[in-house]
Each structure stands twice: as structure tokens, then as C-alpha cells.
Amino acid sequence: MVNHKRRKRLLKLLAEHQAATVQQLVEWLNASPATVRRDISWLAARNLLTRTRGGAENLLPKKRQFALSSETFQNNIQCYAARKRAIARHAASMCADGETIIINGGTTTFMMAEFLSERQCKILTNSFLMAERLLISSENEIIVPGGKVYREQNVILSPFDNDITQHHYASKMFMSVYGLSLLGLMEADPLLIQAEKRLISQAEELVVLADSSKFAKKAGLILCGLDRVAHVITDTNASDSAVQLLEQYGVNVVTVPPDAVAPDLCSPHFNPAYDLQSAALFHTETSH
């Protein structure tokens, strides 16, 4: 097993078990004690785990020591998780094999990855976590833009206008937003506006994934007007008046009931703690 794959596997094991001895890791990774100790030292030096006497412990997101920590994504993905998962499932059901789609970075859109595992689409995404998840779990063709990885927002953003996105056309774009109002789609971070506008311009239909809490959020930046939005998928907690207003603007609104059971965010199949550590590892590996 090559170094980066073994280290990613080591981080995933710690995310699942919280702590492990060198001997346990030797058995799980099928590696020598010397190799495991070197991996622990390498990962500890990059703040991706905590060394212990005789082994290693999982490093919680709040203990990480880099700028723009991923705690925001970690917290957001746990808020209204049952609503978001139901919305993501319905969004994925709108995708057909052979279709080219765009999916932006966001916690609700990220949950689509689980339901796209059996699809065979061409997917352009600026979410590095979604790209990794789909590469591992599906046969979809994955395209990512070049640029800088922003851990806090879980996106790859290019500083250039003529990036790879201009060469791809999609039948649909699925996107999460900070807020939704009669003024349109709202974002709080100016870093996202330019990149997301480029993505929107490359899609025929815009599908917005917005749990009902997004109707109460306001931000100072407007991404686009409601005239650009074809569909909004929200949950049944959205007020009738909010839904009716959107429909008056020509937006097709779909409301779905929240999942009866919230997703297990700590399961091996959906583990944001591992995903975030993996993203940090990816950034370190590729920054050389």
C-alpha cells in the first residue's frame, strides 16, 4: 500500500475507533511496526492525529491548528441532518445515467453522494470531499476545477476566470445556499460568489437544495435572482406562505418530509470526521 493511501486508511481507522495501539494498526494495515510508527509521526507533525504512548488517538476538529478550520462544515453538516438527507435523496433521484450535472460545495449537496453511488453520470463539483467520496464509492466520472482548497467552506476556488468550468455544459446544477429570499439566492462569503456564478452559467436548469431554516437566513450578497431558479427542494417544515411566494415567481417547489432517523454521521459510510481529516491530508500531499 502506497504511503498516502495507508495514511488515509490509518486516519479512517482512528475516526472509527478513536484510539489504537501500534500493534492494532499493524494488524489492520498489514504494515510493519516501523512503518506504522513513521506514519504516526508524519501525521502527528501535520496536526492530523495525537500521538500517545504506544499508539495514536483521533484528533477532534476543534483541536486542529490551521487557519480556516473545517469546524464550520463539521457543525453545519450536523444541523438539520434528517431534513438535509431527505432533500439530498430527492435531488439525486432527478439525475439520470449519462447526464452531465454540476454540484456545488455544501452540506446538503454533499449528502447527495450517498444516493449517487449507483449512478453513472459526469459530475463537475467544486467540493473536494464530494469528489473523493464519489471516486471511491461510484462509477461516476468526476471533474474538479483547479484552484485553492478552502477547508472552512469545503470548496476548490480558482482565481482565474478561464478555468476548466467554462468547457463543461450541464443539464442541471444542484446547489446549496446560505439563504433564500424573494431577492434571490443569498451568500455570506464573497469568495464563493464569483465561482458559483461561473458554475450557474454553465447549467441549463438550477436546482436549489434548501432546508426550511434557509428561509429565515439573510446575507449581504445576492448570487442570482429567483428568475434563474427552476426548482427548490425543501422540507415540510417550510411555511405555506414561503412556498406559495416562490411558486408565484415561477419556481417549482418540492417539499419532502425529513428522514425518520437522522443519518449516522459517525458511521463508516458517512463520517465527516474522517472526510475532513482526509481533506487535510489531501491538501498536505498535493502542496509539495
- pLDDT confidence of 284, banded at 50, 70, 90? very low
Higher pLDDT, 237 or 260: 237
Q: What's the chain's average pLDDT?
A: 82
Give dist(CA 73, CA 275) in Å, integer: 11
Model confidence over 154-189: pLDDT tens digits? 778 776 666 666 678 899 999 999 899 888 999 877
Map out the domains of the chain as residue ranges.
4-58, 71-256
Residue 277 has pLDDT above 70, yes or no: no
Residue 276 has pLDDT above 70, yes or no: no
Higher pLDDT, 60 or 209: 209
How many CB atoms neighbour CB 278 within 10 A? 22
Higher pLDDT, 265 or 227: 227
Residue 272 has pLDDT above 70, yes or no: no
First and final C-alpha spacing in the chain:
20
What does the pLDDT read at residue 152? Answer: 67
What does the pLDDT read at residue 188? Answer: 79
- pLDDT confidence of 40, banded at 50, 70, 90? very high
Tell me the CATH class for 4-58: mainly alpha
Q: Which helix (H) or strand (E) holds 125?
A: strand 122-125
Kindly indicate whether the domain formed by 71-256 is annotated with CATH number 3.40.50.10470. yes
Model confidence over 223-237: pLDDT tens digits? 999 999 999 999 999
